[in-house]
Amino acid sequence: MNALDEITESFSRLPGIGKKSAARIANHLLKADPIFMDRFARQIATLQQKIHPCSICGSWTESETCPICSDMNRDRSLLCVVEQPQDVSTIENSNEYKGLFHVLGGVISPLDGVGPDQLRIKSLVERVREGEIREVIIATNPTVEGDTTALYIQHVLSQTESLSGCTVTRLASGLPVGGDLEYIDKVTLARSFRGRIKI
94-135 tens-digit pLDDT: 889 999 999 999 999 999 999 999 999 999 999 998 878 999
Phi and psi, residue 168, nearest 5° = -110, 125
Give the tens place of pLDDT for each residue, 166-185: 899 998 887 777 777 777 78
Q: Which of 117, 101, 89 is nearest to 57 (CA)?
A: 101
- The reported pTM is 0.84
Of the candidate ranges 39-43, 47-51, 140-144, the one whose mean pLDDT is the lowest: 140-144
Contacts 24+ apart (CB under 8 A), 173-176: 173/142
The burial class, CB within 10 Å (0-12 / 13-18 / 19+), for 47 is: exposed
The total of other beta-carbon atoms located within 10 Å of residue 59's CB is: 23
Mean pLDDT, rounded, for 36-55? 95
Tell me which amino acid residue 82 is. Answer: V
Contact (CB, 8 A) for 55 and 47 = no
Q: What are phi and psi of 83, to 5 degrees?
A: -75, -50
Q: Residue 92: pLDDT band by 50, 70, 90 thresholds?
A: very high
Give me the chain's average pLDDT, please: 91
Residue ranges in 32-113 assigned as alpha helix (H): 34-50, 67-70, 85-92
Higher pLDDT, 159 or 168: 168
d(CA 99, CA 75): 4
